Amino acid sequence: MLHFRGTIGFRKTLGIRRTLTHDAPSSSSASRLPSASASATLKPSTAPKAASLPQILRNLPRLFPRSMTDSIRDYSQFKTNPEFFQDRLLSQLSFYPSLYNNNSNDTSGNDDPRQGQIIKTYVNENEYINEFQILPNTSTPYDRLKHLILIHGYGAGLGFYINTLQHLSMDNWCIHAVDLPGYGFSSRLKFPYGTINPRIYSKKDVLDWFQKRLKTWFHKKGLLAHPENNLVTAHSMGAYIMCHYLNNHPSDFRKIIMCSPAGFYPASNPLTNIPLWYTYLWDRNYSPFSLVRISGPLGSKLTSGWSYSRFFHSNQTISNELSLALHTYAYSIFNLPGSGEYSLSHILKAGGDPRTPLQEEFFTCQSTTNNGIRRSNVEYSWLYGQSDWINKTGGFKISQFLNSLNKKSNVFIAPNSGHHLYFDNYMWFNSYLAKEMTLFN
């Protein structure tokens, strides 16, 4: 049974192991904010790996805790209206007027003045990008607001930023939580670049597919009139995509925050003896999402193998209701037709190492394809979880290179967190973003 963990989101269990190490410079060379307490009991994050079939069978009841009754109910609701689950998750926000849930928050008597709404922006005739936009209670015109753009990672969606959407608020800031093209509840047309075939198309073709749609979204949202007001925060694979976007469009935002960025630097402890069948399936875009889609009423139960471990931590400071809403949201976006996720095998090798590390491609003196990054005045921050499986060395080396070009770049380590640092320690993460937003002002 296929399961992937790490950059990615879907927790698994298959047969390849990696010992977690940290080959970063000493903590004294990393910038730190005052520590906020962790929001959950943290399980160390690991790279995509595998466990033996007997181990899977032995742990089967514990691996998939969602009951069959609940799984069937989730499937029935998904077939009726998949977006119900996005709405139910966002209904946990104090300022969101639910469209479908009669028992959700009534915002009529709410003292939270923010306005939140789902917006679908068409980027061509048949495709749209789904976002959750939060407007502040201000008389400042939209084109004079500051804009925080939140970009998720592989297999994820805008809803995974729920703890930031609820708790982060600042005057004169508009927040855009975006579903990448082919992800979340953005349109899911057939991805034109399937399995790896460099004779037909290149990695550039794959990344251009994202960039063209994102560029149109930035334009249609009016964010290019004052790009100096734009702050982009991107996680994991989203950081990889936005780095390429920056190289091609070097003046579309003022700062980018790379959160546990995947694909930038090789692992400190490379995987060895990867089974051929694992590589075969990886290169052909078979994933746990494929299993969810063909499992029908069992899909939500399968999803719980990852989501319950991720969202139902002991000593978690979020409610069981929110944890459940996150589970059903994850199930719904995993179960939608595959599209943008099929870019993964073009960017990462089986096991999670980059095919072409971006540190080598863009951030060395020998790089020849980084003209946009060299010309750009964009500022950088690199965020890693304390127990992150992503190799922090990449962030330090890249920052050193950027500093040598007189560009601002710093590395921060989020305490008590792993790869999903925006969730593992959302209080620290939100505090960090608030500090950056204040500096913008």
Give the tens place of pLDDT for each residue, 322-378. 999 999 999 999 999 999 999 999 999 998 899 999 999 999 999 999 999 999 999
Residue 142 lies in a domain: yes
Query: Is residue 360, in this structure, part of any structural domain at all?
Result: yes
Q: What is the mean pLDDT of residues 237-247?
A: 98
In this structure, what CATH number is given to the domain that contains residue 420?
A: 3.40.50.1820
Of 236, 260, 304, 307, which residue is the catalytic one? 236
Q: Do 2 and 15 meet the contact criterion of CB atoms below 8 Å apart?
A: no
Asked if the model's pLDDT at residue 288 lies above 80, the reply is yes
Residue 398 has pLDDT above 60, yes or no: yes
| Residue 127 and residue 187 in contact, taking contact as beta carbons nearer than 8 Å | yes
53 pLDDT higher than 80? no
Asked whether residue 319 is domain-assigned, the answer is: no
Q: Does residue 166 contact residue 160 with C-beta atoms inside 8 Å?
A: no
Per-residue exposure over 88-103, b if at least 16 CB sit within 10 Å of its own CB, e if not: bbbbbbebbbbbeeee
Determine how many CB atoms are found less than 10 A away from the CB of residue 248: 16
Indicate whether 30 pLDDT > 70. Answer: no
Which among 327, 388, 409, 417 is annotated as catalytic?
Answer: 388
Give residue 379's pLDDT band: very low, low, confident or very high (50, 70, 90): very high
- Look at residue 221 and tell me if it is in a domain: yes
Within a domain: residue 72?
no
d(CA 120, CA 122): 6
pLDDT averaged over every residue in the chain = 86
* 81 inside domain: no
Contacts 24+ apart (CB under 8 A), 79-83: 82/185, 82/332, 82/335, 82/336, 83/185, 83/332
Q: Model confidence at 316, in pLDDT bands (50, 70, 90)?
A: low
Statement: residue 401 has pLDDT above 60: yes
The total domain count for the chain is 1
Distance CA 365, CA 264 (A): 16
Question: Which range among 16-20, 169-173, 181-185, 257-261 shows the weakest confidence by mean pLDDT?
Answer: 16-20
Is 388 annotated as catalytic?
A: yes
Residue 57 has what pLDDT? Answer: 61
Confirm whether pTM is higher than 0.85.
yes
Domain interval for residue 359: 27-59+98-274+338-440
- Residue 219 counted as domain residue: yes
Q: If you average pLDDT over residues 23-31, what whole number do you get?
A: 39
Q: Is residue 419 among the annotated active site residues?
A: yes
- Whether residue 314 is contained in a domain is answered as no
**Residue 121, CB-side half-sphere exposure with 13 Å CA sphere:** 22
CB atoms within 10 A of CB 240: 25
CA distances from 378 to 253, 254, 382, 407 (A): 7, 5, 13, 8
Catalytic residue (choose from 152, 235, 313, 419): 419
More confident residue, 288 or 105: 288
